[in-house]
Amino acid sequence: MEVNPCSSCVASCCTLLIDLTKKEYLHLKSLNLSNNLLKQSEIFTQKNPIYKGKEDFFDSMYKDEFAIIKKGKDGFCSLLDKKTRLCEIYENRPKCCRDYESNGKQCKQIKKCIN
Asked if residue 110 belongs to a domain, the reply is yes
Q: How confident is the model at residue 7 (pLDDT cuts 50, 70, 90)?
A: low
Report, as an integer, the average pLDDT of 82-86: 84
User: What residue numbers bound the domain in which 84 lies?
Assistant: 12-114
% of the chain residues with pLDDT over 90: 51
Write out the E strands in the chain. 19-20, 37-39, 67-69
Asked if residue 4 belongs to a domain, the reply is no
Please tell me the pTM assigned to this model. Answer: 0.80
Q: Counting runs of H as helices and runs of E as strands, what totals does the chain give?
A: 5, 3
Tally of structural domains, the chain: 1
Contact criterion met (CB below 8 Å) for 4 and 90: yes
Asked if residue 109 belongs to a domain, the reply is yes
Asked if residue 2 belongs to a domain, the reply is no
Residue 52, pLDDT above cutoff 60: yes
pLDDT at 8: 62
Return d(Cα 97, Cα 38) in angstroms, integer.
17
pLDDT at 92: 95
Q: Please write the tens of the pLDDT for every residue from 54-66.
A: 988 888 888 779 9
Asked if residue 57 belongs to a domain, the reply is yes
Asked if residue 17 belongs to a domain, the reply is yes
